[in-house]
A and B are shown apart, each in its own frame.
Chain A
Amino acid sequence: MESVVDLALLGLLAVTAFGVLHLRNLVAVVMLMGIYSFLSAALFVVLDAVDVAFTEVAVGAGVSTILALGTLALVGTRQKRHAKSPLIPLLIVLVTGGMLVYGTYDLPRWGEPDNPVHGHVAPEYLADHVPLAGDEGDVLEVHIPNIVTTVLASYRGYDTLGETTVVFAAMVGVLTLFVGSRRQRRTGGPPADDEGGSGAS
């Protein structure tokens, strides 16, 4: 049953991705990306990743849709028909995809309990019994039912600190790009000599 739902959702994801590629109305594209996020969240629930599904719904379908729509309000919603031949990109994509598919034959089969991924630290996390470096037999036990929270905040706190810093850095980046110069757009006329003024504001 799990596999059937999994297959159906993956099929829907593939169809939605195709729609995203082909539509030229960018508002429709952004809305399709929202649907795509919801579908992938459903897929994550089937794959037992409830926390990831929650995040995907809140972030992927909520905030990123809003941000993309805000961008479209500023840059316009039509994508121009491109004149370039699609042959070379298609060739690159097919060759890359072919090689990747060939590579999947060496991957462990999906969903098997004895895959290498499940062997290293995951059992210790799940048993809430993580050996500490240093003294022999010293273990860390947190006693919180949601293992994802425990791993996120405690066992892998460094990772999360890094990710939080990246989010903060992205905010600084956007503010740096947006605050500052209010330069007029160039519309073919002679270049205005305002290069010096842009940095000062």
Chain B
Amino acid sequence: MEFLGLFNYWVVIFLMMVGFYALISRGNLVKKVVGLNLFQTSVIIFYVSTGKIVGGTAPILIGDDHGVAEGAAEVLYSNPLPHVLMLTAIVVGVATMAMALALVVRIKETYGTVEDDEIQAQVLADEQREGARP
């Protein structure tokens, strides 16, 4: 049970580290954005994991068409708060990802490449040209 109780967190950390590794070791900017996306999803899984109660059910009160049934509060529900926070975080995540991808597209249009070492080489060459000019 000790193993099961922490396994979720370990997988979350593994996913987070895969995203982190993609972010710092890969030179392609799209791959970096994907890495950030992995990182973000791992955090979302972590939050939702903390809200889970084993044997609980989704936080929608038992009831019929006319409202909440009697005794609905006695049923064991999982914690709704992390769900709300993560629901909005997912939508904000895709909006910010679109922002990052737009930056990548603009970088491609300006430098003709999305590999960070080639961009760096171009920036260095530019700076040297600037320096050579009186």
Contact = CB atoms under 8 A, between A and B. Distances in A.
Given A156-B84, A185-B110, A143 B68 contact: yes
Nearest to B9: A104
B59 A167 contact: no
A138 interface: no
Given A80-B28, A126-B77, A173-B102, A13 B11 contact: yes
A145 B68 contact: yes
Interface in B1-38: 1-2, 4-11, 13-22, 24-31, 34-35, 37-38
Chain A interface extent, by class: 35 or more
Which residue among B48, B50, B87 has the maximum number of chain A CB atoms within 10 Å of its CB?
A: B87
Contact of B54 (A14, A55, A59, A112): A112
Contacts of A147: 59-61, 77, 80
B50 A20 contact: no
Given A96-B17, A104-B6, A145-B60, A111 B96 contact: no
Nearest to B57: A48
A21 B11 contact: no
Contact of B30 (A7, A71, A126): A71
Contacts of B110: 183, 185-186
A82 B27 CA distance: 7
Contact of B52 (A30, A59, A75, A111): A111
Nearest to A3: B4
Contacts of A14: 11, 14-15, 18
The prevalent SS among residues of B at the interface is helix
Interface string B65-92: 0011000010011111111111111111
Interface in A5-26: 6-7, 10-11, 13-14, 17-18, 20-21, 26
A148 B99 contact: no
Interface string A165-195: 0110011011001100001011100010000
B104 A71 contact: yes
B90 A55 contact: yes
Contacts of A171: 95
Interface string B86-130: 111111111111110111111011111011010000100010010
6 contacts: A75-B29, A76-B114, A80-B28, A97-B13, A127-B73, A163-B88
Given A60-B94, A152-B84, A174-B99, 10 more contacts: A13-B45, A75-B105, A110-B49, A122-B80, A145-B63, A163-B89, A166-B92, A177-B106, A187-B112, A191-B126
Interface of A: 2-3, 6-7, 10-11, 13-14, 17-18, 20-21, 26, 29-30, 33, 36-37, 40, 43-44, 47-52, 55-56, 59-60, 63-64, 67-68, 70-72, 74-76, 79-80, 82-84, 86, 89-90, 92-94, 96-97, 100-101, 104-105, 107, 109-113, 115, 117-118, 121-122, 125-128, 143, 145-148, 151-152, 156, 159-160, 163, 166-167, 170-171, 173-174, 177-178, 183, 185-187, 191
